[in-house]
Amino acid sequence: MANIGFAGDSAGAMLALATVLWLRDRDIHCGQVTGVLLYYGLYGLQDSASRRLYGGSWDGLARQDLDDYQRTYLASPADRESPYYCLFNNDLTRNMPTCFIVAAEFDPLIDDSLALYQTLREHHQPCRYKVYPGTLHAFLHYSRMMPSADRALRDGADFFRAQL
């Protein structure tokens, strides 16, 4: 069976990890998931210090923006508790592939990334965490202008090369 990996940034990171959990929970085999690359994701926290401190009109992540995205994404308010939206409501203590969790220093979602890393690490699940200093949410989109974005993409490629 082939080794496969998933990756995403922002909501895509949540979708990547949710897909891995969905496959695991339903015992669906489409390859051996050996790595998940998660750039500055949303994993289910509804409030945090970083959500209160960071984000605004400059990055599209003001509190109202995050609420609007959630309403657009979810069919009902009850879906906020789904283990495939609020990933902390899923079992993160078993059978997890290696995760590389990337965070932006001034991101309103950095606490989601840190909480995911701490949860996985505390349950002895394979994971790595790296914060890129001086960056905002979605900094990857500026790889031709920001050396840190280029470095994050290269680090992600190195991670996948090692995992796959």
Identify the pLDDT of residue 130: 98
Q: Which of 10-19, 62-71, 80-89, 107-116 has the lowest mean pLDDT?
A: 62-71
Q: Is the model's pLDDT at 30 over the cut of 80?
A: yes
CA atoms within 13 A on the CB side of 74: 18
Cα–Cα distance, 36 to 156 (Å, whole number): 10
Q: Tell me: the pLDDT tens digits for 93-142?
A: 999 999 999 999 999 999 999 999 999 999 999 999 999 999 999 999 99
Q: Are 106 and 133 in contact (CB under 8 A)?
A: no
Identify the pLDDT of residue 137: 95
Listed residue (112, 103, 101) closest to 42, CA to CA: 112
Count of all residues that appear for the chain in the document: 164
Q: What is the mean pLDDT of residues 70-90?
A: 94
Map out the domains of the chain as residue ranges.
Answer: 13-163
Catalytic residue list: 10, 107, 137
Q: pLDDT band for position 164 (50/70/90)?
A: confident
Name, in order, each residue with C-beta under 8 angstroms of 63's C-beta and a sequence gap of 6 or more.
51, 55
User: Could you give the percent of the chain with pLDDT greater than 90?
Assistant: 90
Q: What is the mean pLDDT of residues 22-38?
A: 96
pTM assigned to the model: 0.95
SS3 120: helix
Q: What is the mean pLDDT of residues 53-71?
A: 90
Cα–Cα distance, 82 to 69 (Å, whole number): 16
- Give me the CATH code for the 13-163 domain, please: 3.40.50.1820
Give me the amino acid identity at 142: Y
Identify the pLDDT of residue 84: 97
Identify the pLDDT of residue 76: 94
